[in-house]
Amino acid sequence: MLQASMAATVFHFGLWSNVRVKAKRLFFASGVRELRACRWREGSTLTSSAARRMFIEFFKERHGHRVVPSAPVRPRGDPSLLFVNAGMNQFKPIFLGTVDPRSEMARYRRVVNSQKCVRAGGKHNDLDDVGRDVYHHTFFEMLGNWSFGDYFKEEACAMAWQLLTGSYGIPRDRLYVSYFGGDRTLGLEADEETREIWLNIGVQPNRILPFGMKDNFWEMGETGPCGPCTEIHYDHVGGRDVAHLVNSDSSDVVEIWNLVFMQYSREADGSLRALHQHSVDTGMGLERLVAVLQGKRSNYDTDLFTPLFSAIQQHFRCPEYRGQTGVADKSKVDMAYRVIADHIRALTVCIADGVYPGMSGAQLVLRHILRRAVRFSTEVLKSTPGSLSKLVPTVVHILGDTYPEVLKETDRIMDIINDNEAQFLSSLKQGRRVIDRTLQNMNGSTVFPGSVAWSLHCHLGFPLDLLRLMVEEKGVAMDTEALDRLALENKKVRAQTQASEHDSCVDLDVKVLPELQGLGITYTNDLPKYQYSLGQDGRYVFLPCHATIQALICGQGLVPEVEKGQRCGVIFDKTCFYTEQGGQDHDQGYFTQEILPDVLFPVEQVHLVGGYVVHQVTATERLKRGDQVQLFLDEGQRLACMVKHTATHILNHCLRQLLGDGVEQRGSHVSADHLRFDFSVKRSLSIQQLQEIEKMIRDIIEGNEPVYIEELPLKVAKGIPGLRTVDEVYPDPARVVSVGVPIADLLKGHNNKPASVELCCGTHLLMTGEIQDFVVVSERQIAKGVSRIVAVTGAQAKEAREAGRVLECEVDSLRVRLTAASPSLPGIHRLSKEAGLLIDAVENTAIPQWQRRELSNQLKSLQRSSNTMIRKLEIAEAAKKVQSLLKKHTNRSLVVDTVDTDSISVVMKTVNQYSDQAPGVMVMLLSHQESGKVLCACQVPKGFSAFSANDWALAVCAHLGGNAGGSDTVAKGTGSAVDIAEAIQWARNFAEGRMQQR
């Protein structure tokens, strides 16, 4: 396919003369109209809204493009992207040919829009550059026009030049263009066609510059649509020749428009596959365009940002913005303005589109963006808490008319930013002290310790890029080598099973239990782990815990103190950390010494051994028995575990309600990411049962029912009607967890509805609404009579539903195309292959399990139908070929000939049918492909002794540099040949020679 595409490109080169005529006609005809229009001139007051509107109207009114709205920044069911990073993302199904033929998108030919984009994380990541210069952004608006199998290179270039030099009136002598200079390793030639187009439009040769894959071959992600591109660059100074500054990260010469010619799809193995049609995908950043149109050297000096700068100065009461960069911006105030203005736009748009700061994927990236903004606002501009969210209304004012979705979410966006800011400020304060103290103790070293940076990253949630920035501002470099090593070690540790880690700790601690008891050290009071509440604002409040070190375990026994760098177990008199038990992961977090509060001791593991809670740490400073400490939980991880644990109880209850009292729990595990629940059942749940389970659980979530928790004497607790227990030893008194019904009512027998009631030592929510959503993403039998459910909650559940909807649309699209498909063998083959790919996608994507089974059944049915159609078409095609061959080879005992097909199955069926209609004939058929490949099949009569079919096929295919296999009567194989006539003659000579030897 790639060769065919390259051949098409060569064909285009032969049409340069036509291109020249077309481009000139298109450009000059439209150019006359443009010159009559009101055009911008440098220094005008054209607003960003007007610039955006002019772009849309130019393609809509003058070139017949359809206006489509911006997609949300969260990709629609596309796991290859963290965010929508280009205007073309929503049109990916069109480029790949997978668009639902019944959808509106299937009718798109020419479209135009302004798309919200985020480039932070993933292949396109501008986060580190934001603030340092005056033209990078995490969030930006991408103006774009697209052609889907309609116009191509010459029209796209001409339209772009018309708009820039005509409608916008940008001086031509300020513009440079680049084009793809080729890549030998991929076998891609230079795009001389595009160069010729620009020459004929009138661009001077010295302003048309070739660049390689990095600059002029555009790819959406690691996989997906891609192709060569041509870019238009603007010189803010003018009156000079600065071709050497193009693509050199100069703030004076910047790219403003990228025209991508979508010709290929990047596959998972790195290869390029030619797309089914050529398309055009252009993207022009509104921010950079407006800077040009308003005569500004900086994107941040335009009306997209100046209202934000005014709001920052008003709310933060900081020095005014001066527009300085680099060494001139010594105080970093101007950099802070740019970071905050950019990041608050990204946060506002992302949260409005359903992406929230979190712990993985796009959510983790957004968390980094928010924390970076908080750090600059508090550390550099000295703002007060809550100031950042006050900028949201200004963003809404600037963008709301174009993107009305942000108008609806203003209050919620502000609340989310405030919550996350408050959480980070606490960590930031502690982290800054750690950094300052570390710098003081470096004794003149210019390399910041990687171990300290890694601790801050893992245990306080500091983004590594933020840490690098903070230490670089102190004139110190980060020890990246140590960071990489620690990241690798951490990956290895996480790969180990938790069971082996637990056993290691238990073996060590059991040896010192008698010694602990002999010293009179009391058991750890871990009741503080349950000391949390719901504040008036609905957020969970976890209280810090003050404690005393009772014992230190190092090596094979107790020690009075441990030195910095030693790994040890720490036992406190009390702790707020939850130990791994009841199927719930242990808590994460750290503790500090009261005499040295800026030193973090990250807690690596927490285990309960013989009544003592052992906190495994690697000492970051000296520790000794009797030290006073304060313990801090990772509140996000704890809350996520609470969500999953309460959801597990509800799942257990609903399974029993649906399937009967015979359902018994056989195991469970709760982590921050997912919950796993094993239970007794004769067979896997049906699609209807899975749907009903989810509905029952969502009803309880939506009811926001209270969760009642109380300690009762074990005997009393076990007398509660409907109580669920598992086969384990319970403490006395026992902790009872009831969802929706007060425990007092349960004891009195006043409960009028079935309720989830269990004995449980885990940590739970106080209201079920915090679960938000629930989706079973996997359900399968792991042993006879035991099934395992894996489920997700909250945002992960919503993402699973969205992914399921996307796959459902793709399956529906395949069904329609297969039903409406003309009886073409190549076409049915393609649809059958697509069914196979969709089966893999359905099996390996996190979607509702009931939907997975529905879609799998549908796809298997479609695949069976397509295979039946293929078989019938192949038999019919073979029958036609046999009739032609029979007429050609009447009364011959040896037939060697060619057939025209690209299917070895057709070759085989033709050989079989020929032998059926001409018994006793030795027949070999070859099919010669355009690539030079040869398909071979043969058959000899049963009992024929001169040679076997396998011998014949092996000899011929070996002669052709290939291989073959089969039986005495039937065989097939492949090879390659330039001259098929020579191959036929060789095969005939082989057979005749063997028969003569007989």
Highest mean pLDDT among 275-284, 698-707, 886-895: 698-707
- Residue 645, annotated as binding a ligand: yes
Please tell me the least confidently modeled range out of 120-124, 259-263, 514-518, 649-653: 120-124
pLDDT tens digits for 920-969? Answer: 899 999 999 989 999 999 999 998 988 999 999 999 999 999 999 999 99
DSSP 729: P
Q: Environment class of residue 187 by beta-carbon count within 10 Å: exposed (0-12), middle (13-18) or buried (19+)?
A: exposed
C-beta separation of 86 from 122 below 8 A: no
- Residue 760, annotated as binding a ligand: yes
> Which band of pLDDT confidence, cut at 50, 70 and 90, is reported for residue 11?
very low
> Which band of pLDDT confidence, cut at 50, 70 and 90, is reported for residue 2?
very low
Is the confidence at residue 223, as pLDDT, over 80?
no
Structure tokens at 366: 């957004």
Is the confidence at residue 527, as pLDDT, over 70?
yes
> Which band of pLDDT confidence, cut at 50, 70 and 90, is reported for residue 538?
confident
What is the distance between the alpha carbons of residues 336 and 321, in angstroms, rounded to a whole number?
9
- Residue 12, annotated as binding a ligand: no
Strands 894-898 vs 922-928: parallel, antiparallel or unpaired: parallel
Within 10 A of 693 (CB to CB), how many other CB atoms are there? 25
Strands 217-219 vs 208-211: parallel, antiparallel or unpaired: unpaired
Q: pTM for the complete prediction?
A: 0.59
DSSP 220: S
Please tell me the least confidently modeled range out of 306-310, 461-465, 641-645, 736-740: 461-465
C-beta separation of 525 from 607 below 8 A: no
What is the distance between the alpha carbons of residues 352 and 372, in angstroms, rounded to a whole number?
19
For residue 150, what pLDDT is reported? Answer: 95
Is the confidence at residue 27, as pLDDT, over 60?
no
For residue 1, what pLDDT is reported? Answer: 39
> Which band of pLDDT confidence, cut at 50, 70 and 90, is reported for residue 739?
very high
C-beta separation of 718 from 731 below 8 A: no
For residue 270, what pLDDT is reported? Answer: 82
pLDDT tens digits for 875-889? Answer: 999 999 999 999 999
Mean pLDDT of 685-707: 95
Pick the closest to residue 894 from 868, 869, 865, 914 (CA basis).
Answer: 914
For residue 31, what pLDDT is reported? Answer: 42
156 vs 750: which has the higher pLDDT: 156
Q: Give residue 743's identity as a one-letter amino acid code.
A: I
pLDDT tens digits for 321-362? Answer: 999 999 999 999 999 999 999 999 999 999 988 888 877 788
| Cα 171 from chain centroid (whole Å) | 41
What is the distance between the alpha carbons of residues 415 and 404, in angstroms, rounded to a whole number?
19
User: What 3 state SS string does 778-798 have?
Assistant: EEEEEECCEEEEEEEEHHHHH
> Which band of pLDDT confidence, cut at 50, 70 and 90, is reported for residue 195?
very high
What is the distance between the alpha carbons of residues 818 and 831, in angstroms, rounded to a whole number?
7
C-beta separation of 924 from 952 below 8 A: yes
What is the distance between the alpha carbons of residues 612 and 524, in angstroms, rounded to a whole number?
5
Is the confidence at residue 756, as pLDDT, over 50?
yes
DSSP 299: G
What is the distance between the alpha carbons of residues 755 and 759, in angstroms, rounded to a whole number?
13
pLDDT tens digits for 298-329? Answer: 999 999 999 999 999 999 999 999 999 999 99
Can you spell out the DSSP letters for 73-120?
SS-SS-TT-SS--STTGGGHHHHHT-S-TTSGGGG-SEEEEEEEEE-S
User: What letters, b where the CB count within 10 A reaches 16 and e where it falls short, cover 752-772?
Assistant: eeebbbbbbbbbbbbbbebbb
pLDDT tens digits for 35-53? Answer: 334 444 444 569 999 999 9
- Residue 136, annotated as binding a ligand: no
Please tell me the least confidently modeled range out of 6-20, 183-197, 203-217: 6-20
Please report which residue ranges of 37-86 form alpha helices under DSSP H: 48-57
Strands 175-180 vs 208-211: parallel, antiparallel or unpaired: parallel
For residue 225, what pLDDT is reported? Answer: 79
DSSP 525: B
pLDDT tens digits for 766-825? Answer: 999 999 999 999 999 876 677 999 999 999 999 999 999 999 999 999 998 888 867 788
pLDDT tens digits for 74-109? Answer: 887 677 788 998 888 888 878 876 665 656 788 899
Is the confidence at residue 601, as pLDDT, over 90?
yes
167 vs 222: which has the higher pLDDT: 167
C-beta separation of 756 from 724 below 8 A: yes
Would you call the peptide bond into 733 cis, given omega within 30 degrees of 0 as the criterion?
Answer: yes
